[in-house]
Amino acid sequence: MIENRKQMLLVISGPSGTGKGTLANLLLEHDPSFSFSVSVTTRPKRDYEIEGVHYFFISDEEYDELLEKDAFLEHATVHGNRYGTLKSQVSKLMAEGKNVLLDIDPQGARQVLKNADDCVSIFILPPSFKALRERLHTRNTDDPVEINRRVHNAHEEVQHVGMYDYTIINDDLDTAFGQLKTIIEAEKLSTARYLPVVEEE
The ranges assigned to domains in the chain are 9-37+98-188
- Interatomic CA distance for residues 110 and 151, integer angstroms: 19
pTM of the model: 0.86
Task: Considering only the C-alpha atoms of the chain, give the largest distance between any 2 of them, rounded to a whole number of Å.
Answer: 67
The dotted CATH code for 9-37+98-188 is 3.40.50.300
Q: Rounded to the nearest 10 degrees, what angle do helices 129-139 and 144-157 cross at?
A: 140
Residue 79, classed as helix, strand or coil, is coil
Q: Closest by alpha carbon to 188, among 12, 11, 1, 9? A: 9
- Sequential pLDDT tens for the chain (201 residues): 788 889 999 999 999 899 999 999 999 999 999 999 988 999 999 888 999 888 999 999 999 999 999 999 999 887 789 999 999 999 999 999 999 999 988 988 999 998 887 899 999 999 999 988 888 888 766 688 888 888 888 998 999 999 999 999 999 999 999 999 999 999 999 998 998 889 887
Q: How far apart are CA 112 and CA 82, in angstroms?
A: 16
> Contact at 8 Å (CB) between 189 and 15?
no
